[in-house]
Amino acid sequence: ASSGDATAEGPKPLDELVVGFAQVGAESGWRTANTKDIQAAFEEAGIELKFSDAQQKQENQIKAIRSYIQQGVDYIAFSPVVETGWDAVLNEAKAAGIPVVLTDRAVDSQDESLYVSFLGSDFIEEGKKAGLWVLDEYKDATEPVNIVQLEGTTGAAPAIDRAEGFADVIRQNSNLEVVASQTGDFTRAGGKQVMEALLKSNPDIDLVYAHNDDMGLGAIEAIEAAGLKPGEDIKIVTVDAVKDGMQALADGKINFIVECSPLLGGQLVDIIKTLNDGGEVEKRIITEETTFNQEQAIEALPDRQY
């Protein structure tokens, strides 16, 4: 009965569907907004959502998924904290006949039959957009531009891809150089701590590229504590565009933000409904996103929901 094989049994009434969602954690403003949006979308659709928070640990996520399999949920959705190491548990879900939807982050498995769809952003594209701003900002530079990169969680798709996209673009100008790159684990505290250390070891930092707003906001604290002006003495580019990031951009402390939308709940519900009806879903669904400079942030802020 828990097979989730809607074609064989016909669609289930929505109020009988059970979906298990294994979330990464609560590491950032983005994540909090993502959790809220997903919970609200399922609530509104009248579909039961079992929710777990893995506190950024893969072993916790694997445990949660195993428990959903044991409980015989109809669908499992999850945002994999890192890319590797999912084949075993995803094969268990497959053997139990429970379709899995990846939201937000990718797995690097070669076996695409282990999930029905991957819904989320194109992180390489985001890295490229950040790189293009930097390329343009320093197009007239005649001296080296020292860039430090605050990486997301090591091994996570957005950390790997945002670094790759950025590097791909900035290599077009040999003056642009990433002089240091360290993980801040997508948290504000992590960004602050890494930036404090980097400020000590690198006297001449021109720009910070942070893989999310929270680490950028942590870096701002470290830069101010060092008696420098974020946004002027050291420029800052981030990814996400959550409210606190947008406020810092409006205030001139961040210079540019590449948007990454956490509002995946509605699309996830649509995927579940389609599967329940026996329909087909796209293997890859990419979220639409934009970028913000200071003016655009000032304009967008009053309506920013998260």
Question: Which spans of this chain sit near ligand GYE (rule: CB under 6 A)?
Answer: 27-28, 30-31, 104-105, 158, 186, 212, 214, 239-240, 260
* Nearest partner of 267 among 285, 250, 249, judged by Cα: 285
Cite the DSSP H helix spans in 2-122: 6-9, 29-45, 58-71, 87-95
Shortest CB 11 distance to ligand GYE, Å: 31
Decide whether 93 or 150 has the Cβ nearer to ligand GYE. Answer: 150
Decide whether 83 or 104 has the Cβ nearer to ligand GYE. Answer: 104
289: left (phi over 0), alpha (psi -120 to 50) or beta: beta
Show Cβ contacts of residue 183 under 8 Å, excluding neighbours closer than 6 positions. 150, 151, 152, 153, 154, 159, 190, 194
Shortest CB 185 distance to ligand GYE, Å: 9
Phi and psi, residue 82, nearest 5°: -125, 170
Decide whether 82 or 132 has the Cβ nearer to ligand GYE. Answer: 82
Residue 96 DSSP label: T
Decide whether 98 or 163 has the Cβ nearer to ligand GYE. Answer: 163
Which amino acid, residue 292?
A: F
> For 205, how many CA atoms within 13 A lie in the half-sphere containing its CB?
30
For every residue of 132-201, DSSP letters joined together read HHHHHHTTT--S-EEEEEEE-STT-HHHHHHHHHHHHHHTTSTTEEEEEEEE-TT-HHHHHHHHHHHHHH
Decide whether 68 or 186 has the Cβ nearer to ligand GYE. Answer: 186
Q: Give whole-number Cα distances, 66 to 15, 76, 102, 117, 217, in Å.
A: 23, 10, 16, 19, 36
Decide whether 45 or 192 has the Cβ nearer to ligand GYE. Answer: 192
Shortest CB 10 distance to ligand GYE, Å: 35
Question: In terms of DSSP bridges, do strands 117-120 and 100-103 run parallel, antiparallel, or are they unpaired?
Answer: parallel
The rounded distance, in Å, linking the Cα atoms of 43 and 31 is 18
Decide whether 128 or 276 has the Cβ nearer to ligand GYE. Answer: 128
Structure tokens at 227: 């008696």
Structure tokens at 240: 């996400």
Decide whether 186 or 209 has the Cβ nearer to ligand GYE. Answer: 186
